Amino acid sequence: LAEDQRWRMAFGEDRPIPVKLEKALLAAEDRRFRWHPGVDPLAVMRALVQNLKAAKRVSGASTLTMQAVRLMDPRPRTWTSKAWEMVRAVKLDLLRSKEDILRLYLTHAPYGGNVVGARAAALRFFGVEAEDITWAQACTLVVLPRSPSSVNLQSGRNELMKRRDNLLARLEKECILDDATLD
């Protein structure tokens, strides 16, 4: 436990980012992560069109870089905050490598209760280091931060498994997993 009573372990530069976790994360959250400058213009346009058509917020355009910015410096969810995140994300992308940005996200992502970061979550929930997780565990760690207080290993377990299985199916469809691994 850290001083703030949270289970937290950094993804330091001395540890490689686990391939399974990285591939699942990019497939689920930010497919163009390696190509955009912290903000994905295509996602912004898509979200803008969808939100205008619906006359309410139905889609977001947050990249992993923007999410890392928000996790490190939380602000109220407003248009002003979104613009601030975009500016900070571009700056972060200019100053840090994509690997560093992934490390920041994986270190600060919330996993429910007092568990913060993918390493701490892998150890706490599965009893293994993040490098040793299975594909199913990697997908679970990817979908948990979306709503860790309502969909987690204790409550909302069926919804969590559904989200995990959908991500596993997407990885198989994108030829990241083969049929045998998916089974």
- For residue 7, the cross-strand partners are 115
**Tokens representing residue 1 in the block:** 């436990």
Q: How many CB atoms lie within 10 A of CB 94?
A: 9
Q: What is the DSSP letter of 4?
A: T
Q: What is the mean pLDDT of the chain?
A: 90
Please give the chain's pLDDT, 183 residues, in tens.
778 888 888 877 888 899 999 999 999 999 999 999 999 999 888 888 887 888 887 777 789 999 999 999 988 888 899 899 999 999 999 999 999 999 999 999 999 888 999 999 999 999 999 999 999 999 999 999 887 767 767 778 888 899 999 999 999 999 999 888 888
Taking CA 94 as the corner, what is the angle to CA 115 and CA 76, rounded to the nearest 5 degrees?
45
pLDDT per position as a tens digit, 92-145: 999 999 999 999 999 999 998 889 999 999 999 999 999 999 999 999 999 998
Q: What is the rounded (10 degree) CA torsion for 108, 110, 115, 116?
A: 0
